[in-house]
Amino acid sequence: MTDRPAGVDFLVEKSDWIRHRFVDAPEPELAPGQVLFRVDRFAFTANNISYALAGDMLGYWRFFPAPVGWGRIPAMGFGDVVRSSHPDVAEGTRCFGFYPMSRYLVIEPSAASPAGIMDGASHREGLAPAYNQYSPAAHDALYEPDHEDALMLLRGLFMTSFLADDAIADHDHYGAESVLISSASSKTSIALGFQVSRAGRARAVGLTSPRNRAFVSKLGCYDQVLTYDEVLTLDAALPSVYVDMAGSGPLRAAVHGHFGDQLRYSCSIGATHWDAPRDDAALPGPKPEFFFAPGQIQKRVADWGPAGFQERIGDAWSAFRAFSDGWLRVQRGYGRDAVERVYLETLEGRTRPEDGHVISLWDSAEEASGGAPA
CATH code of the domain in which 48 resides: 3.90.180.10
How far apart CA 303 and CA 167 sit, in angstroms, is 13
Q: Spell out the long-range contacts of 116-121 with Cβ–Cβ below 8 A and sequence spacing 24 or more.
A: 117/35, 117/89, 117/93
Q: Are residues 86 and 15 in the same domain?
A: yes
Domain ranges, residue 253: 156-293
Classify residue 176 as exposed, middle or buried by CB count within 10 Å of its CB (0-12, 13-18, 19+): buried
Phi–psi pair at 364, nearest 5 degrees: -160, 165
Q: Which CATH number belongs to the domain containing residue 254 in this structure?
A: 3.40.50.720
- Give the pairing of strands 116-119 and 74-84: unpaired
Give strand pairing partners of 20. Answer: 12
318 domain-assigned: no
Which helix (H) or strand (E) segment holds residue 97: the answer is strand 94-100
CA distance 35 to 82: 8
- Predicted confidence at residue 366, as pLDDT, reads 84
Q: How confident is the model at residue 6 (pLDDT cuts 50, 70, 90)?
A: confident
The span from the CA of 293 to the CA of 296, in Å, is 5
3-state secondary structure (DSSP) of residue 141: coil
Q: Check pLDDT > 70 for residue 296.
A: yes
In three-state secondary structure terms, 132 is helix
In a domain, 188, yes or no: yes
Do 134 and 77 reside in the same domain of the chain?
A: yes
Residue 25 pLDDT grade (very low, low, confident, very high; cuts 50, 70, 90): confident
Do 362 and 265 lie in one domain? The reply is no
Q: How many domains does the chain contain in total?
A: 2
Query: Do 213 and 84 fall within a single domain?
Result: no
What would the mean pLDDT of 318-329 be, rounded to a whole number? 95
Reply yes or no on whether the pLDDT at 27 is more than 90: no
pLDDT at 55: 79
What mean pLDDT is reported for the chain? Answer: 91
| Overall average pLDDT of the 228-238 stretch | 97
Residues 232-242, mean pLDDT to the nearest whole number: 97
What share of the chain has pLDDT > 70, as a percent? Answer: 95
**Mean pLDDT throughout 75-80?**
96
Predicted pLDDT of residue 372: 47
Taking residues 335-348, what's their average pLDDT? 95
Check pLDDT > 80 for residue 87: yes
Residue 43 lies in a domain: yes
- Average pLDDT of the segment spanning 129-142: 92
Structure confidence at residue 374 (pLDDT):
43
Residue 373 has pLDDT above 60, yes or no: no
Q: Which residues contact 319 (CB under 8 A, 6 or more apart)?
A: 194, 198
> Do residues 353 and 287 both lie within one domain?
no
User: pTM for this structure?
Assistant: 0.87
Predicted confidence band of residue 283 (pLDDT cuts 50, 70, 90) = very high
| Beta-ladder partners of 97 | 77
Q: Is the pLDDT at 53 greater than 50, yes or no?
A: yes
Helix or strand (DSSP H, E) at 368: helix 365-368
3-state class (DSSP) for residue 30: coil
pLDDT at residue 230 is higher than 50: yes
What pLDDT does 292 receive? 81
Q: Is 354 exposed, middle or buried (0-12, 13-18, 19+ CB in 10 A)?
A: middle
Q: Calculate the CA 100 to chain-centre distance.
A: 13
Whether residues 21 and 125 fall in one domain: yes
Report strand pairing: 116-119 vs 109-113. antiparallel
- Assess whether 20 and 115 both reside in one domain: yes
Strand-pair partners of 42: 77, 359
Q: pLDDT-based confidence at 1, cuts 50/70/90?
A: very low
Distance separating alpha carbons of residues 55 and 285, to the nearest angstrom: 28
203 pLDDT exceeds 80?
Answer: yes
281 versus 183: which is more confidently predicted? 183
